[in-house]
């Protein structure tokens, strides 16, 4: 698989693997041994970039630690700090935040232990702590880099001003935000900023939590613990409003002898050279399908045609 680069110079596969769903958010945790096999299969297929976080459950980091204990030099591991717990309010999770230096140091030691490694390749602040200035967080990251505990750091869903202030103290390797055909907010200035500052853009939910794969309908029944059951974008009326987008993707896939998911991921890769999508899955077949998107080449003419058509579709970006 082709490689793309993080801002700290590390090379990663141009499509990574988001590991959240192996333990969190999409129903019951997947069988551990099956996920170890899946992670090994991903490496065999050329995937080198794996994304986790302690808020997905400590078992998620431990899973990667077990799977890659003998493959550590072949993978780039990204995990996160800043969310130290969650509580439920009105049926929705609310993050408990702490990015004070002392807390960050406790968090990094926990992640290193669970991942079974002496360094984290990419360490994101998962969410901004409004009580801690970005310069303080960046100074802590700089210290951890000097100590060799992390090789680079990033931000997830941070305001642009926060990003700029943090980057000025300790350059960012990546930002991780949602991006897909149904969530294009990063195109409104953030991509230009990433290009100017040599920051990679890691796209989570590149398939719109699976919506863009076309596998779900208004009649889909979601299992216990699957947060798509209360996500706004999976409400029947929202799905209906976005049917034109699904039709476009399906038609493109048919013309390319590809799947809808592959077209969506190929489109993302073609948008900017620093975009690295990290679709998640617990299925070997879906893993092969997603990584196979790297083989689909979209020309500048293809991309222009797709974007022109997308511009004519009124996409409902409802998330929650």
Residue numbers annotated as active site:
56
For 91, phi and psi rounded to 5 degrees?
80, 5
Question: Encoding tokens for residue 130?
Answer: 């409004």
Distance CA 182, CA 171 (A): 30
Distance CA 101, CA 50 (A): 25
Asked whether 204 and 18 are in contact (CB, 8 A), the reply is yes
Distance CA 242, CA 209 (A): 14
Name the strands in the sheet holding 17-18, side by side, starting at the edge strand that comes first in the sequence: 17-18, 49-51, 76-81, 122-125, 153-156, 174-178, 200-204, 275-277
Ramachandran bin of 139, using left for φ above 0, alpha for ψ from -120 to 50, beta for the remaining angles:
alpha
Distance CA 289, CA 10 (A): 25
Crossing angle of helices 32-44 and 284-292, rounded to 10°: 30
Asked whether 157 and 127 are in contact (CB, 8 A), the reply is yes
In order, the DSSP letters of 211-253 are GGGT---TTPPPPTTBGGGT-GGGSHHHHHHTHHHHHHHHHHH
Question: Encoding tokens for residue 197?
Answer: 């500052």
List Cβ neighbours of 177 (8 Å cut-off, separation of 6 or more): 156, 157, 185, 186, 190, 201, 202, 203, 204
Give the per-residue SS3 of 168-219. Answer: HHCCCCEEEEECECCECHHHCCHHHHHHHHCCEEEEECCCCCCHHHCCCCCC
């Amino acid at each position: 698989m082709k490689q793309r680069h993080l801002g700290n110079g590390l090379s990663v596969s141009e499509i990574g693997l988001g590991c959240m769903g192996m333990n969190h958010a999409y129903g019951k945790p997947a069988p551990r041994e099956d996920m170890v096999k899946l992670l090994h299969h991903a490496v065999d297929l050329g995937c080198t970039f794996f994304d986790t976080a302690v808020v997905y459950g400590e078992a998620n980091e431990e899973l990667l630690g077990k799977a890659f204990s003998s493959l550590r030099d072949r993978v780039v591991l990204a995990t996160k700090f800043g969310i130290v717990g969650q509580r439920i309010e009105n049926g929705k999770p609310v993050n408990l935040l702490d990015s004070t230096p002392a807390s960050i140091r406790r968090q990094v030691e926990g992640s290193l232990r669970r991942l079974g490694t002496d360094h984290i390749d990419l360490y994101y602040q998962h969410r901004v702590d409004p009580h801690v200035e970005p310069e303080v967080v960046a100074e802590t990251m700089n210290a951890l880099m000097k100590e060799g505990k992390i090789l680079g750091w990033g931000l997830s869903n941070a305001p642009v001003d926060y990003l700029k202030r943090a980057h000025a103290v300790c350059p960012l390797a990546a930002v991780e935000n949602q991006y897909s055909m149904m969530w294009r907010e990063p195109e409104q200035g953030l991509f230009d900023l990433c290009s100017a500052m040599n920051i990679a853009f890691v796209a989570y939910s590149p398939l719109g939590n699976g919506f863009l794969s076309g596998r779900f309908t208004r009649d889909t029944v979601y299992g216990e613990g699957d947060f798509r059951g209360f996500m706004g974008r999976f409400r029947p009326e929202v799905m209906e409003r976005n049917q034109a987008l699904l039709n476009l993707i399906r038609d493109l896939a048919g013309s390319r002898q590809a799947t809808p998911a592959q077209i969506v991921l190929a489109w993302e890769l073609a948008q900017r050279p620093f975009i690295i999508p990290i679709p998640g899955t617990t299925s070997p077949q879906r893993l092969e399908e997603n990584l196979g998107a790297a083989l689909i080449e979209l020309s500048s003419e293809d991309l222009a045609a797709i974007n022109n058509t997308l511009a004519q579709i009124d996409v409902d970006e409802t998330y929650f």
